[in-house]
Structure 1
Amino acid sequence: MLRLHWWASSRIVAVPVRLFSQTPIVPAKPLPPRLKINDADISISYLKGTGPGGQKINKTNSAVQIIHRPSGVVVKCQATRSQSQNAKIARSLLADKIEAQEKGDKSRVAIKAAAAKKKKASKMKKTRRKYRELAEGEKVIEEEEDEIEIIWDEDVKEDVKEDVKEGSTEATPEVGDESESSAGDSGKRV
């Protein structure tokens, strides 16, 4: 959504607004302008299409092939069934290829690829951090469980030592032990 603002220079400027968020919109870094190609330097030919799309694609000259004579770059496009849309897409692809040859790492395509690579690396780093924290949390839980078992074992050892010191040799009945309760009761219910 865009909100219109009046500035001191008496012109209207459209400013993007987020309706349900207080986080400001950070604009992306501007890309260099797309390379302009002279029509005299290119030759355009229209070819019959191939592949999916049926009889319409096979019978019509909807595919576009553009050759840039100075550099020798050839681009073929059959993205849509429309010849004019394919020509427009082919021109932009040709401009990107020529710019990549001329400028290398400073071209639009290289800048976009570097940004995508950086974003992917950031996501992977976040994922690794998440799973590393989960693994560390599991280790802490296991260590706590080991400490609890060790403490319990030490308590049992102390109880056994106290019993040995007192000289009691008879076994103490447990809560679930039925040996004493069944001795007084013959098992008959009244």
Structure 2
Amino acid sequence: MLLNPLCRLHVGIGSRVCAAFKHTIDYSKVPKINESDLSEQFVRGSGPGGSAVNKNANCVVLTHIPTGHVIKCHTSRCQDENRKRAREMLVAKLDEELNGEDSVTAQKRRLESNKFKKTEYKKKKMAQLKSEWKKREGLA
């Protein structure tokens, strides 16, 4: 499997993940990718960096043949990093498609929203207690 325990925390789309979530997320349903199911191409990059980026073929275009999903990754100037990141992105996309609400990203989203709800509840409760205290003490 491509995801080791340290990288699992970073799979997702821009979500902040706490290390404590690692033990509460079910990774058993994450799909495994066979290298024979992949078509990999290296194309020239684009974007900021000028000619240092534009003349090198370090952008990875990864195609999953059974599903037809195409992932294009050019997050780094290093081709090896882009290859690894493209595979992680493909695993996340397949997991989202196959497992839906049981996918790793959905589980992380759920945990984040639960954490946010708890903190909001605590904030409201503290504000209410503070306002009651001010009324009781005659400060407000």
Quickly name the TM-score band, shorter chain normalised.
0.7 to 0.9
Q: One-letter code of the match for 1:29? A: T
Q: One-letter code of the match for 1:111? A: Q
Aligned positions, number: 120
Structure with the larger RCO, 1 or 2 (CA within 8 Å, 6+ apart): 2
Partner of residue 89, structure 2:
93
Partner of residue 27, structure 2:
32
Cα distance 1:120–1:54, how it changes in 2: closer, same or farther (>3 A)? farther
Residue 124, structure 1, aligned to residue 123, structure 2: no
Unpaired stretches in structure 2, ≥5 consecutive residues: 1-19
Cα distance 1:27–1:51, how it changes in 2: closer, same or farther (>3 A)? closer
Unpaired stretches in structure 1, ≥5 consecutive residues: 1-24, 147-190
Cα distance 1:26–1:37, how it changes in 2: closer, same or farther (>3 A)? closer
SS at match of 2:41: strand
Q: TM-score, normalised by structure 1?
A: 0.56
1:99-151 Cα distance to aligned partner (Å, 9 max, x none): 11111111112111111111122122222222222222222233xx69xxxxx
1:21-58 Cα distance to aligned partner (Å, 9 max, x none): xxxx9972243144211122221111222222332212
Q: TM-score, normalised by structure 2?
A: 0.74
Superposition RMSD in Å:
2.3
1:35-85 Cα distance to aligned partner (Å, 9 max, x none): 211122221111222222332212211111111122122211112111111
Equivalent of 2:79 in 64, 78, 83: 83
Q: One-letter code of the match for 1:102? A: L
